[in-house]
Amino acid sequence: MKDMAPKGEQDMYLIRSECSFDAAHFLKGYSGKCRNLHGHRWRVVAELKGETLSEEEQTRGMLLDFGDLKGLLKEKCDALDHCLIYEAESLREKTLEALREEEFRLVEVPFRPTAENFARYFFEEIQRAGFPVRRVEVFETPTNCAVYEEQ
């Protein structure tokens, strides 16, 4: 078999992992159907990049251990699973009080909860964890996807 030694600086390795979560949201100020409370099975696909593979014994020949990326994605997705995600200041305090009294799980975010904003959110969370993220795709439905990548 041919030797798999590194070839040079032009090489780029990519790995992808995905996770999903189920959550409700709505878009305040939107004039279509999405202004109403509704849910999705959100699918998050993260892609990491690198020019060299690890030489450490445990991860030798790998860009990164898939388990590390998968663990981070699962942690971030689990934090949003089975809840109502809402933009800060988009619900009346009375509404929030009623939802809390019903013991619904609520997650407030500082952005409008769109697929585009979630793509950027996950990108930044993965980057903050020290991973060399290339792009993140967030599927709101099986056929509708938003992508965030930095140039």
Per the annotation, the verdict on 82 as an active-site residue is yes
Check 34, 51, 108, 149 and give the catalytic one.
Answer: 34
Check 47, 125, 137, 140 and give the catalytic one.
Answer: 140
Check 75, 82, 89, 150 and give the catalytic one.
Answer: 82
Give dist(CA 28, CA 40) in Å, integer: 17
Residue 123 CB coordination number (10 Å): 22
Would you say 114 and 13 are in contact if contact means Cβ atoms under 8 Å apart? Answer: no
SS3 140: strand
Instruction: State which amino acid sits at residue 38.
Output: H
Per the annotation, the verdict on 40 as an active-site residue is no
Per the annotation, the verdict on 56 as an active-site residue is no
> Catalytic residue positions?
34, 82, 140
